[in-house]
Amino acid sequence: MSIRVNPNPTPDLLAALAEVQQQVDTATVELSTGSRINKPSDDPAGAAQLAEIHDRGSQNDSFQKSISSITGGFQSADSTLSSVITALERAITLGVQGANGTLSDSDRAVVAQELTGIQTQLIGLANTAYQGQFLFSGTARTQPFVADSAAASGVRYNGNAGVNTVTVGNGYQLQVNLPGSQLFTATGSDMFQSIQDLITSLGNNSGIGTAVAEVRNAFDYVTAQRVFYGNALNQIDSQTAFLNNEKLDLSRQENAVAGADIASVASQLVNNQTARSATLAAIGRMPQDSLFDYLK
C-alpha cells in the first residue's frame, strides 16, 4: 500500500505564502533604505558596529565644523599680524630717517608725529575682533589694549594670559589663540614700549639708534610669533584632509557593514515575487473536485 499523504495541504501552503511574503517585505525595505540593517535583529553585531560608526561619523562632523569655524579666526589674526609687521617696518624706516643728524628739530617732530599715528594704528590692530571676539585678549572678553598715559608705554593690557584650545580630532587639541600679552607686550619685546621709546628719543634727539634697535627687536619678535598662525593654518589643512579621508573610510565601512547589495536584493525581490505568484497559483489550482464529482 502506498504512503498516505496529508489530504489537507492548505496550512503548509499558507505558511509558505506567509514566508515568501515576509521575504518580499524584507527585500522591499532593503531596497527602499539601501541598507540591509534596518533593525538590530537584522544583524545584531552589524547593528552594534553601525552605532559606533554613526557615532564616529557624528564626531567627525563636529571636528570639521569646529575647524571651519576657527579657520576664519586664524586667517584674520594672521593678516592682522601682517599689518602689524608692515607698520613696524614703517616705524623702523622712520626711526632710521630720524637718526640722520641733518634733520632739524621740526623734521624730527614730523617723524615723531607719524610714529604716534603708527602707535594708534598698532593699538587698533591689537584690538582686532573676529565675529565679535577679540583675537588677542586671551580668554577675557574685554577690549584688550587701551591707551593709558599712566603706563610707561602709554598702552595698558586689559586681557589675560589665557589660551583656548579646540578639539579637532580624537585627542587632538589645537590652540586657537595667542594672548596679546605674549604677542605684543612681552617683556623685552614690547612693541608699544619700543615705539614710545623711539618717539621720546626723537624728541630728545638722543639714543635714537638704541630705540630703533628696540623696534627692530619687537619687529623680529612679532614676526617670529606670527609663525604660530601659519602653523595652525597648515595643521588645519592637513587635519581637514585627514578628517575627509576618515569620513570616506567611515562611509565605506558603513557600506561594508550595512549596505544592501542592490543588484542581488532586486533579483531576490523578483524571485520572491515569482515564488509568491507561484504559491498563489498553487493554492488556486488545488483540486476543486473529488471523486464524489465523478460518481453517477
Q: Which lies closer to other proteins via its Cβ, residue 134 or residue 228?
A: 134
Sign of the alpha-carbon torsion through 96, 89, 196, 108: positive
Task: Give, in degrees to the nearest 5, the angle at Cα 229 between 223 and 231.
Answer: 100
Whose Cβ is closer to other proteins: residue 41's or residue 102's?
A: 41
User: At its nearest, how many Å lie between other proteins and the CB of residue 126?
Assistant: 16
Give the shortest CB-61-to-other proteins separation in angstroms.
7
User: Among 6, 164, 149, which Cα is nearest to 70's?
Assistant: 164
- What are the b/e assignments for 46-67, b being 16+ CB within 10 Å? bbebbeebeebbebbeebbebb
Instruction: Name the minimum Å distance from CB 246 to other proteins.
Output: 15
Shortest distance (Å) from residue 173 CB to other proteins: 6
Nearer Cβ to other proteins (50/265): 50
Binding site for other proteins (CB under 8 A): 3-8, 11-12, 15, 19, 37, 39-45, 47-52, 54-55, 58-59, 61-63, 65-66, 69-70, 73, 131, 133, 137-141, 160, 162, 164-167, 170, 173, 176, 290-292, 295
**What's the CA gap between 87 and 80, in Å, rounded?**
11
Cβ-based neighbours of 281, under 8 Å, separated by 6 or more: none
